[in-house]
């Protein structure tokens, strides 16, 4: 797709890559939290906080960064590579999860910020919650485009994301959760799309 081999390479990622890279790191931080003696309630609460931080991050990035319109050619090119290519080729299996070149720096920034705010002990379980939220996003996003998702929740999430893709609706910025679309009133038209729209992958 891209004439520059480096851009072409970094625009693609195997869907298993985020899980292979991040799960061992999250397990390490979880072990740190358990070793620090935070207790079940403390760790569980921190995981929820971390997942909520990811959730608002997902919504904010998708709404205000990934779909940003730039006046310059370089800017348009950048945002196309970042996310526009996915809307043009939504079934490309190698461009459905966040490249490690994006998720690693973002994860490092989030961890440092959480550590500065919450301290080194609480940062570990909060970051694990953030990571679980992120991996859920990558997994759900891939599944909505390539799996049937027969459960009631799965069908709803698939329909929720396909509306964003196929109706031209400037809404539904969440992927793994509609929470912030509900909070900020960006669900758009809540009518169910047609079967043809839902069935597209």
Provide block-wise average pLDDT over 10 residues at a time, the chain (201 residues): 59 86 97 94 97 95 77 65 64 74 91 96 97 95 89 91 76 90 85 42 34
pLDDT at 81: 64
Which residues lie closer than 8 Å to 144 by C-beta, 6 or more apart? 157, 158, 161, 162, 175
pLDDT at 196: 38
Separation of alpha carbons 66 and 68, rounded Å: 6
21 within 8 A of 131, measured Cβ to Cβ: no
User: What pTM did the predictor assign?
Assistant: 0.82
Integer CA distances (angstroms), 106 to 31, 45, 57, 100, 134, in order = 22, 23, 10, 9, 11
Domain count, the chain: 1
Domain housing 24: 5-199
């Amino acid at each position: 797709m891209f004439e520059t081999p480096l851009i072409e390479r970094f625009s693609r990622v195997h869907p298993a890559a985020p899980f292979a890279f991040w799960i061992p790191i999250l397990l390490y931080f979880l072990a740190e939290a358990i070793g620090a003696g935070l207790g079940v309630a403390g760790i569980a609460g921190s995981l929820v906080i971390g997942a909520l931080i990811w959730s608002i991050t997902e919504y904010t990035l998708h709404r205000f960064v990934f779909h940003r319109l730039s006046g310059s050619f370089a800017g348009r090119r950048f945002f196309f590579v970042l996310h526009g290519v996915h809307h043009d080729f939504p079934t490309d299996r190698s461009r459905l999860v966040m490249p490690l070149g994006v998720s690693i720096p973002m994860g490092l920034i989030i961890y440092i910020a959480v550590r500065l705010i919450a301290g080194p002990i609480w940062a570990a379980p909060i970051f694990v919650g953030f990571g679980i939220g992120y991996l859920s996003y990558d997994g759900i996003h891939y599944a909505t485009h390539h799996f049937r998702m027969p459960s009631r929740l799965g069908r709803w999430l698939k329909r929720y994301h396909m509306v964003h893709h196929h109706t031209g609706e400037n809404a539904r910025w969440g992927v793994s959760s509609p929470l912030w679309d509900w909070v900020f009133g960006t669900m758009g038209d809540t009518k169910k799309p047609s079967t043809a729209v839902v069935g597209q992958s």
